[in-house]
Amino acid sequence: MRSQSRLNLAMSAALVLLCVPFVSAQGGQLVSADYGTGHSRIDVTQRVQALAGISGQLNFPVTNEALGVRDPAPGRVKDLRIRVGLRNGRLHTYAYRDKTVVTLRLDSVGSPGTPGGLQILRAIYSASGWHHQGADVTGRVQSLARYGTLNVLVNNNSMGGDPAPNKRKQLRVDYVVRGRRFTQTVREGDYLRLP
């Protein structure tokens, strides 16, 4: 009896250890994703969103090829960090080392072209009036949209960095709702609410 319990415990522990690289989320919205190591990281949010597709299912190996990028740190061990906004309002970061498999279920995002849906066409976060000192944050803003709406505080944190240190910034978003195109500009520190 005792030996059977030990065997069951050992088998359970082995199963857990074998499954460690295959973390699975039970829903949530993709906020951002980056790949690399240390200060050598690449934003791969748009690629991960594309891999999730409409279904929200992620299942791919962590490789340069799968992520569609050049090696950000040749000869070094890299990881993929995927940040997910959970339904309870918290953020969770999933980390996957090179050559492990991402198995993650996100909330399905639906087709951006569906009637009545919100479609983010372009988003630029820049110093007010200076578009050359800005960052294209289209992928990030697209990933923040939830269930056809967007409600986000515009700041360096939510936009993924500071494209113009010590300058007042703004976010300009071109989007489509119910087939009509709009542009909205929001100052740093204010909320962007769409539609």
Partnered with residue 104 across adjacent β-strands are: 58
Structure tokens at 76: 């070094």
pLDDT at 4: 54
Q: What angle do CA 120, 176, 123 make, to 5 degrees?
A: 30
Confidence at 88, pLDDT banded by 50, 70, 90: low
Distances (CA, A) of 160 to 31, 47, 102, 143, 154: 10, 16, 23, 12, 10
d(CA 63, CA 192): 35
What tokens appear for 71 in the block? 């090696």
The per-residue pLDDT for 79 is 96
User: Does residue 19 surpass a pLDDT of 50?
Assistant: no
For the chain, where are the E strands, in sequence order?
29-37, 40-43, 57-61, 79-85, 91-97, 101-105, 118-127, 130-136, 150-153, 169-177, 180-187, 191-194
d(CA 85, CA 135) in angstroms, rounded, equals 22
pLDDT value, residue 106? 80
Residue 13 has pLDDT above 70, yes or no: no
Indicate the pLDDT class of residue 89, thresholds 50, 70 and 90.
low
Estimate the share of the chain in helix, then strand, then coil, as percent rounded to the nearest 5: 20, 40, 40
pTM equals 0.48
Residue 178, both tokens: 């119910």
* CA distances from residue 146 to 81, 86, 88, 111, 118 in whole angstroms, order as listed: 21, 11, 13, 12, 9
pLDDT for 112: 38
> Confidence band (pLDDT; 50, 70, 90) for 117?
low
Q: For the segment 44-70, what is each residue's pLDDT rounded down to a tens digit?
A: 988 888 888 766 788 999 999 999 999
pLDDT higher at 75 or 119: 75
List pLDDT tens digits, range 138-161: 888 888 887 677 889 999 989 988
Q: What is the pLDDT of residues 30-46, one digit of tens each?
A: 788 999 999 899 989 88
